[in-house]
Structures are given as structure tokens and as C-alpha cells.
Amino acid sequence: MKSIKINLVAIGIGLLSISLTSCEKENTLTLQDFPDISIDPGNNPGKEIIVEPDNGIDRVNSLTKAITENGDGTYILRRGGVYYFEGNNTIRSNVTIKSEDAEEGNLAQLQPLADANGAVSTNMVLIEKNVTLENVYINAVDAATNKVPDRVLVANQPNLTLTLKNCFVDNVRQALFRLNTVGNKVLIDNCTIRNTANSTSPDNGRIVDTRANNQESIVINNSYVYCQTDRIVRFDNSGTAHYALTNNTFFNIGRHIEINYAIDVLIENNIFADCGWKLTSSPGVLWDVAMANEANDPRVKNAKIIIRNNNIFYEPTLSNMLKNYPNFQLRTGLSADAIKMKNDGRFIEENNFSEVLTFDYAPPLPTAYWKLFFDKGGSSSMGDASGLPFAVDEDGKEGIVFGKTYTFNYPANTISAIASTTGGPIGARLK
């Protein structure tokens, strides 16, 4: 993946303009209907601070120290530099953190580092103000011990705006975003997120974990997300006002698509390849909707969900394996609440299809891990899987080489190449 940039018309949901057609007007939903995720004015006040890299010996926590000293501003990191997070770190200012502008060179790297006693914090960084990360590489493996913190970006105050743009995220154990508070907005745009996985405890490994707190917006757009043991977003029966998955490629995701319960939902132009392999012994639910009672949340009566123009497929490797496990069935169905909403005209599925694609440079599938998982009956405890590969890496060396990471391009003579809501290709097209 090259250094990538986006010319944002506006930083927020408004830039992701996608039209829906052929739905009744009252049921039409686009990302323009979502509240704008705009950066607080304090996030980019015109003050730029250049932060020199750490060396891991007598210079650590340079980034968080600079933020503590200078407050709100834009923090420019050197390309190819490493910025360590040793011990407990908290960001208490509105900041944009990004790699310096350059035509080439690896992105600045953010990485945890064990303290002098060898202890690794369970959280890479706590966040108490609005934060934008742009053109950075987050490698969540501890540089000294190779341990992985449970969580990377942890919201510790309510009503925050947290944005990832043009980033590459590698090696997350429990959750990339953990939202300990309510009312937050999360935007992930034009990113690669991989190896969000806990192979011995596969009920962990999520992009966003709401911890059952009501949120404002969660949006993932034009991103690669692959090699993940649990669900994309864990709602835990909390109410998120706006949830969108648009123009993404999801590959090897353990759990089905949890929606419960989001009020305005738009899922379109995505590729879901081998998503939901943590199968059940009854007909599996793919779209998991579980709405609250209207008495507890009046917004529920106006909830609407649109799922359209998505390619959802299981590769023959997985399908053939399941022939040996007849108790496991592929996920294709709707939950009871989804069926009820569909009967009410508020759950709209259209133009979804299944087409097996051959990607140009996809990572290997964890067939040995899958076999053990099925042999154990779908157990959430996989301690004996520690020696089996699940996480992927192109060359077996820590870090990434831009331009040589996995990609998910596919042939132009496929249905998917003309299946989007605008007649073009679906899935992510990283910029």
C-alpha cells in the first residue's frame, strides 16, 4: 500500500455521498442523512508541531509529551520514524496526528513499549478529546516483549470524534476502538485494518467495541479489513444512532454482521468474503438485528436499515471443509427483529448477491485453525490453537513494506466489477 491521501470535501460523513434508488422515498437512506462528523475547531487551529522520533532508549513517549506541552494542534511525525507509547498514556487535547507530507517513504509508526519493569499497558492510549490519525502506521505489538495490548484507542470521555484516515493498523488483540463512554463518533476512511484477532479467545478481536454504551455514529468506508476473529462492531445491545459500512472489502471475519441495535443503518457496495465462519448448529443468522423496546428507546420506531449491492460469499475452501461438519451451516438468514422490520418495510435488502472472487494478492486462509475450531464444536476457548497460524504477514518480518502488502483487486469481467450503486466496482479501492 502506498502513502495515501484523500482530498476531503468535508471531514465527515457528508463527504461519503452515495445515492440509493428504487426505494420508496420514506425509506431512502444515504450517508448524507447522517450527522456530519466534523473535526472540532480545536483539532486544527493552525498550530503545527513537528515531533522527532523516539529511539526506545532515552527517548520515548515523545508524541504524548509534545501534546501535553503544546495542547491543541496538528502534530507532524517524521516518515519512517517510530513513536513509542510506554506505560500509561492519555491524550487530553484536540489533535490531528499525521505523517509529514512526502511523495515516498514509510508512514510514521506508532507502537507500544513495555516499561522498565517489562509491564505492557492493557491500553495503548486513552483519549479524552477529539483525535484524528492520518497517514500513520499503528503496529500494536509491543516493541520489547512482542505482547499485544488488549485495546489500542480507548475513549475515556463522552461525545468524542475519533477519526482514522489513510492509516494501516496491524495486530490488535481485543479492540481497535474501545468506547467506554456514550455519544462518540467514529470514522474510519481509506484504511487497512488487519490481524484484529485473539486466536486463543476468538470471542475477542473487534474493530469497535461500544461496551454497551449508546453511540452517535460508527462509519467504516473504503477500507480493507481482514483476518479478524470476532465481529466488526460489538454493540452489545446498545443504541447507536448511525451505522454505515460502505465500499469496503472484508475478508476472513469470524463473526456475522451484528447490527443490534442501530437506528439508521446503511450497508452497501461491500465485499464480505468468508465472513461469519464462527457458525452455529442451527440455520445461521447473517444480519443480526435486535432492537430495544420502544418504551426504552423511542427512536426504535423510526429505525431503518438498508443493505444493498453487497457481494457475500464463502470460498470453496471453507464450503468444502464444512461438508465434514454437518452441524455447521453457512450464515444466510435474518434475525427475528430483522424479519419483523422487513415486514414493516423498514429493513430493505436489494441487489445483494454471491460471487466467488479470485483476488490478486489475498492472504492465506487459516484452514488448520478453522478445522480445530470446528473439531471443538465452535468453542470460544481455543488455548490449544496457539501454535496455529491465523494472523498474516507478507514476509514474516515485523512491520510492512508499502506497495507490497496484501491487496484485494479482482478481475474486471466479474459481476462485482459493475455491481455498485453507481454501476462501478464494489469493495475498497484504496487511494
- E strands present in 46-122: 48-51, 73-77, 82-86, 90-91, 95-99, 108-113
- What residues contact residue 25 under an 8 Å CB cut-off, 6+ apart? none
- Shared domain check, 410 and 314: yes
- Shared domain check, 163 and 112: no
Give residue 189's domain range.
150-417
Q: Is the pTM of this model over 0.85?
A: yes
- Shared domain check, 156 and 101: no
**What pLDDT score does 185 carry?**
94
Is residue 125 in a domain? Answer: no
- Shared domain check, 261 and 318: yes
Is residue 20 in a domain? Answer: no
Residue among 136, 131, 135 nearest 155 (CA): 131
- Shared domain check, 237 and 190: yes
Digit-coded pLDDT (tens) for 275-294: 999 876 555 788 999 999 88
Length in residues, the chain: 431
- Shared domain check, 115 and 185: no
Is residue 10 in a domain? Answer: no
- Shared domain check, 188 and 107: no
Residue among 247, 294, 238 nearest 266 (CA): 247
- Shared domain check, 201 and 73: no
- Shared domain check, 409 and 319: yes
What is the 3-state secondary structure of 340-398?
A: HHHHCCCEEEECCECCCCCCCECCCCCHHHHHHHHHCCCCCCCHHHCCCCCCCCCCCCC
Strand partners, 307: 267, 349
Digit-coded pLDDT (tens) for 414-427: 999 999 999 999 99
Is residue 7 in a domain? Answer: no
Residues of the chain with pLDDT under 50: 1-28, 36-43
Sign of the dihedral through C-alpha 64, 12, 207, 274 = negative
Number of domain units in the chain: 2
- Shared domain check, 165 and 67: no
Is residue 263 in a domain? Answer: yes
- Shared domain check, 158 and 86: no
How buried is 270 (Cβ within 10 angstroms: 0-12 exposed, 13-18 middle, 19+ buried)? buried
Backbone angle region of 345, left / alpha / beta, with phi > 0 → left and psi within -120 to 50 → alpha: left
Backbone angles phi, psi at 75, to 5 degrees: -105, 120
**What pLDDT score does 30 carry?**
59
**What pLDDT score does 358 carry?**
98
Distances in Å between the Cα of 313 and the Cα atoms of 249, 305, 354, 370, 397 are: 12, 21, 5, 17, 31
- Shared domain check, 203 and 329: yes
